[in-house]
Structure 1
């Protein structure tokens, strides 16, 4: 069985095989922040931020943003890109499952994009607990889920039903819908979700 740990992700960046990185912020996030449905800026955690494209997008829109990733190379790339763009943002190399110990109830928003599909399916319940733990009361998870059905992984597949089942017990206000402006390789397989903590 493939061992998926921080060293695995670091090796992918070192070998330039991080194919999940699309070289820009996710188009559905860009559209959301330009729309009348855009969230009000607040303290934001981008979970599994990779090279930082989504994190930088939120920071550009006034969000006080920290990008977290397992891989030191990803963090270094995000720092370099943000410095080049003169964007105020933090990038921290962390085990995402340890974030509740360091950042309990600390964020208004958590951003998810290709982290949920990167971890093993048996870790998904722990992922939900982690996200819930780092959000403040009335905090919101803004997620772009990649719900494909191809075997093996990473990226590991999921379904809309699984997403609903996993998150509905921890988040009270629940909205998820398909998006029309995914990149070509994920067309018809992505859902934009906004889940809010009300208790």
Structure 2
């Protein structure tokens, strides 16, 4: 695109400002962010309405703290958004990529118009063709809703099941969820099958 001048957290040139995210810089807030430090049995099911977004946290010796790299890059993205008339969402052409952009857009309370770069190849030709054929962001509303619903369902199932098993067993650090629970069940089933052979 000709944006070849490196700035702090973004590139500029040829009328463009290009910035990036890394990992999932934003996630759904945890129970403590809703004022629930240690959920008791009567607090279940945990079902926040509305869900809140928060900056990704990392574990340190003093507990969980916002990831400083995510905080700094979010400030850069906010600055880039403020400097632009129109935004081009160029996250991965997928459900999760759409969710990453929309979560950023919502978190930064951005209301500027945006278009969607939808490509599956990163060759120069593919990028230039995609830029010449930008799509209306609204075309991907259903894709975002699907990703957002899955993310919230994962939160509801994972947090409620994990806290419930901790309450039931009286031990901490039990973790259940949409993906890991069936995988654990398959491993356990195979282990029992082998032991009973």
- Which TM-score band (shorter chain)? under 0.3
Structure with higher Rg: it is 2
Q: TM-score, normalised by structure 1?
A: 0.26
Q: Decide which structure has greater helix share.
A: 2
Q: TM-score, normalised by structure 2?
A: 0.26
Q: Decide which structure has greater strand share.
A: 1
